[in-house]
Structure 1
Amino acid sequence: MALLPTCGRLYAFYNIKWVYCLSLVVFEIGSVVSALAPNSMALIIGRAVSGLGAAGLVSGTTTILAYCVALQKQAKLSPVILGMYSIGSAVGPLVGGAITDSKVLTWRFIFWMNLPFGAVGLVLVCISLRKPPPAVKGDLPWTQKIRQLDIPGAILLLGATSCLNLALQWGGIVYLWSNANVFGCLIGFGLLSITFLYLQFRGKENATIPLHIFRSRTVSASCGFMMLVQVAIVLHSYYWPIYFQSVRNTNARDSGINLLPVIVSNSLGTVFAGWIASKSGHYVPLMWIGPPILATGGGLYQLIRANSPRGQWIGFQILSGAGYGICSQMPILAVQVVLSKADIPTGLVMIMFFQMLGGALAPSVGQNIFTDGLLRNLNEMQGIDGAAVVAAGGTEFREIVPPELMNAVVDAFNSALKNVFWVALAAPALAWIVGWAMEWRKLSDAKSATTQTRATEVDEEKEK
């Protein structure tokens, strides 16, 4: 997440085909390190290497699409890409769980599996991008390219996001909020963020994130919108399986299968919204329609009980998935309408950055709320060691809880989950409010918007 802006800028400076291929190779190297890891530290390092490659892949996918496909057609093709992501999100945990449970394959085979898929992807990219369009800033001298990558800024951003996530995970659970570990991380996040913003302001075009793109209220609103809806959908994806395992005593494989209504409705909603946007040229109304549907899915969880019928929770999941699918791709289209061609890669990367930021914050915030609520509920029961139940996890707690108290503990889990789903209601509700800050533009306005933006840039250069 933290390296997305830096990796995204590579596509503005160098051949997009080879940057993408190199990112894929780095991702695969990380997979090999993970597969061969002799200990946890080596596994963590392998995942970090893969994360670096993934930053290039995520930013490259949208950038290549923006470079090679007309904006009107992107509204149809973006849902295909997002649909593949949704399918992978559904199939990946199921296949990964089956492989991990296998005594023959073991968890290491999960990382070996990446190699043939990566090889196929590498061949496809090489074939399909025989003559990639030139990089928009490819004529800059290499020294200026290095400066504009802003390595110090990337390091500060990495430190700031790490401090924030650690503070949100530890606060109130592992340590008190007043503990030096938590408070120190929050102070570190603040100081590193301020220093990062100062470098961006001083660096102007050499900064990791050129702040001038946020002068457009569409860009600023799109980033905030994407972060908020991502918080909601990640909470759904993360905590519905916990409901199935802890409350309904479902195994890990079946809990993944039970999440399919979210995945399928998300994919269908994405395709439908893309078709509407490509036909009408309007994307802003979809940013007003999707969040309330997504919020409704989160709010209706308050009706869920341990014995709720299948049709009830399937319906709630369908609402959540469809709501997210309707609106999630619209910020990607919006920034391309209002930004110049040179700024589009940066704008797209910022959308991806805030999307991943929401995805990173959601489990940290959700876990804090869930664990805090669960401990409060359990500590009110006689004969229950709340800390031991939490440590046992969402399925193993049944081995240490007396049968006569089992229903009460299950209700405690469900009650704590309801606290989390209030956040899944509030986040898209805020996104709906943010969506009203969007400029009313159409996909067909992209050319005029680009011309206007370039004229503004020329005026700014004259003033300098």
Structure 2
Amino acid sequence: MTSSTLSSRHEADRGSVLRPLLGLLLVLFVSMISATVVSTALPRIIGALNGSQTQYTWVVTATLLTATASTPIWGKLADLYSKKVLVQVAISIFLVGSLLSGFSQDAGQLIAARAFQGLGVGGLQALVQTIIAAMIPPKERGRYNGLLGAVMAVATVSGPLLGGLITETSWMGWRWCFFIGVPFAALSLIVLQRSLHLPVLRDRDDVQVDYVGATLLAAGVSLLLIWVTFVDSSFDWVSWQTAAMVGAALVILAVAVWWESRVAEPVLPLAVIRQPAPALAILASLAVGMAMFGGAVFLGQYFQVSRGYTPTEAGLLMIPMMLGTLVSSTVSGLVVSRTGKLKAQIVAGTVILVAGFGVLSTLKHDTSLLIVFAGLATMGIGVGMSMQNLVLAVQNTVALRDVGAASASITFFRSLGGTIGISVLGAVLANRVSADIAKGLQEAGVPASASGGASNLNLDALPAPIRTIVETAYGDATGHIFLISTAIAVVGVIAALLLKPAPLRTTLDMEKPAETEPAGPEETEPAKQD
């Protein structure tokens, strides 16, 4: 093939990337904003539905749980079926889940609707990464990962602000926090229908989807998370309930690993994740996800419940973290594309993330906002430098035909870390707050019945003395969960230091062995376009 032919082909490929990229970025925006638009509104939502702190946590956890459980299935399906059809199905599920969430009448219904919505979110998380990996070689993917990080930052910045404005607008109300994603989802469907065209690399007659493995993984993880949510509040750490739930979960997960090692098309590719580089990248991503999601989800609650800010003000106060993510992800992506090296960016990102958590671990109900902003900005920089580069480190180790399962694997473990982090830190926060409130009421000589049965998160319904005690309890407990996040994030630093990623390749697919035909299946088989 001549250099002129290669050049023209490269220009055509670039054009085919840029056209659907808008739709993919819009999909990512839809997925991200579904979580961030609710973050500042959750205290008001749970207060209006008279929910509890446990239900507050589960409104977030339910979405993460189903997203985590479904991500490996979406990734494997992407290697076998039309990526275009799958991403459209995921968007449709997300759209319906948004409508159901908006029409919920109590906290239980909202949690169930958010769980359904999470199925679509899991698909979007896996498929956007997979589709981009199917279009762009790893060496060039860094700059596009910078765009992904920028969109994530914009969604995270605008989401809390939008959620606050919606919640405080009388003619809209908190239900529009869920309805607002519907037009974005519909628009992304139209854009991708017109612009996204990818070949289906495998024969549909040879499809084997590992539903058994996915079910086992989902069951084991779900049981562990349910145990984390209720331990030390409904029953003791050392109890028959703990033994039954943890024991059963470990047995189920062990069976899942055994099953995955035997099936032809495992939902989690053990052959990939056992390799040193992917294994360490996944471990780092697990720690980063656990620390980041587990800590950040409670910041909106801290600003509103402890500091007394409105939802809109709470969104504005989150801007330092989002700006840190925006700038660092963009710059890091450009550096990676220019140098082809990942490790320095990942190590620096995880170290900076630990430093950010360390600053936030000093939070109290009266901490200076300058200290809070410094911690938020530092945490955002660490996230921007590490998150997408860890995904790229795994994608760079697999052939194009397996990139869906590989991308879904690291997304699965990152989401799993986030789900565990939210559940664990939410349980710690709930127990710490309950103990501090009980202690504060006792010292003030105020009976607990003076609250009139109102939720602790419904501050407007609480008498002034109890409200002050609740605000102090939430403020002081938030610093404690960030201290735990700091310890967890150190694991990510260790994994990043041990990581030895391969140089980023400049081709979409891995080089074929010499004895095989030079053209891969995607070139020799009839092109099945999405």
Confirm or deny a common fold (TM above 0.5): yes
1:396 alignment partner, one of 442, 445, 459:
459
Map 1:38-437; keep pairs closer than 5 Å.
43-129=110-196, 131-132=197-198, 134-136=199-201, 138-141=202-205, 144-145=206-207, 148-203=208-263, 205-381=264-440, 382=443, 383=445, 392-393=455-456, 396=459, 399-400=462-463, 402=465, 406=468, 411-437=472-498
Report Cα offsets for 1:304-336 as digits up to 9, x if no partner: 444433322211211111111111111111112
Query: Paired residue for 1:462?
Result: none
Q: Which has the higher contact order (CA 8 A, sep 6+)?
A: 2
Confirm or deny that 1:6 pairs with 2:73: yes
| SS of structure 2 residue aligned to 1:442 | coil
How many angstroms apart in 1 are the aligned matches of 2:448 and 2:288?
32
Relative to structure 1, the CA distance from residue 210 to residue 70 in structure 2 (aligned partners, 3 Å threshold; closer, same or farther) is closer
Task: Specify the code of the residue in structure 1 equivalent to 2:235.
Answer: Y
Q: Relative to structure 2, which stretch is displaced further, 21-30 or 341-350? A: 21-30
Shift in Å, 1:67: 0.7
How many angstroms apart in 2 are the aligned matches of 1:175 and 1:386?
22
Relative to structure 1, the CA distance from residue 274 to residue 92 in structure 2 (aligned partners, 3 Å threshold; closer, same or farther) is same
8 Å contact from structure 2 (residues 223, 249) kept in 1: yes
Relative to structure 1, the CA distance from residue 260 to residue 180 in structure 2 (aligned partners, 3 Å threshold; closer, same or farther) is farther
Relative to structure 1, the CA distance from residue 28 to residue 248 in structure 2 (aligned partners, 3 Å threshold; closer, same or farther) is closer
Report Cα offsets for 1:214-244 as digits up to 9, x if no partner: 2311111111111111222223422333332
Relative to structure 1, the CA distance from residue 165 to residue 21 in structure 2 (aligned partners, 3 Å threshold; closer, same or farther) is same
How many angstroms apart in 2 are the aligned matches of 1:306 and 1:329?
33
How many angstroms apart in 1 are the aligned matches of 2:242 and 2:454?
21
Shift in Å, 1:394: 5.1
Report Cα offsets for 1:258-307 as digits up to 9, x if no partner: 11111111111111111111111111111111111111111123444444
Relative to structure 1, the CA distance from residue 210 to residue 385 in structure 2 (aligned partners, 3 Å threshold; closer, same or farther) is farther
Report Cα offsets for 1:107-130 as digits up to 9, x if no partner: 44344333321221012112221x
Q: Relative to structure 2, which stretch is displaced further, 372-381 or 47-56? A: 372-381
8 Å contact from structure 1 (residues 339, 450) kept in 2: no
Shift in Å, 1:439: 1.8
8 Å contact from structure 2 (residues 130, 404) kept in 1: yes
Aligned length: 445
Shift in Å, 1:172: 0.9
Shift in Å, 1:350: 0.6
How many angstroms apart in 2 are the aligned matches of 1:353 and 1:448?
23
8 Å contact from structure 1 (residues 150, 207) kept in 2: yes
| SS of structure 2 residue aligned to 1:282 | coil
Among the aligned pairs, what percent are the same residue?
Answer: 22
Relative to structure 1, the CA distance from residue 447 to residue 79 in structure 2 (aligned partners, 3 Å threshold; closer, same or farther) is closer
How many angstroms apart in 2 are the aligned matches of 1:453 and 1:95?
55
Structure 2 runs not aligned, ≥5 long: 1-67, 517-530
Relative to structure 1, the CA distance from residue 191 to residue 242 in structure 2 (aligned partners, 3 Å threshold; closer, same or farther) is same
The two structures have a TM-score, normalised by structure 2, of 0.76
8 Å contact from structure 1 (residues 216, 338) kept in 2: no
| SS of structure 2 residue aligned to 1:209 | coil
Report Cα offsets for 1:169-228 as digits up to 9, x if no partner: 11112332245544433233212212211211221x232212111231111111111111
Query: What root-mean-square deviation, in Å, do the aligned CA atoms of Structure 1 and Structure 2 show?
Result: 3.0
Query: Paired residue for 1:459?
Result: none
Q: Relative to structure 2, which stretch is displaced further, 287-296 or 247-256? A: 247-256
Structure 1 runs not aligned, ≥5 long: 456-464
The two structures have a TM-score, normalised by structure 1, of 0.86
Query: Paired residue for 1:443?
Result: 504
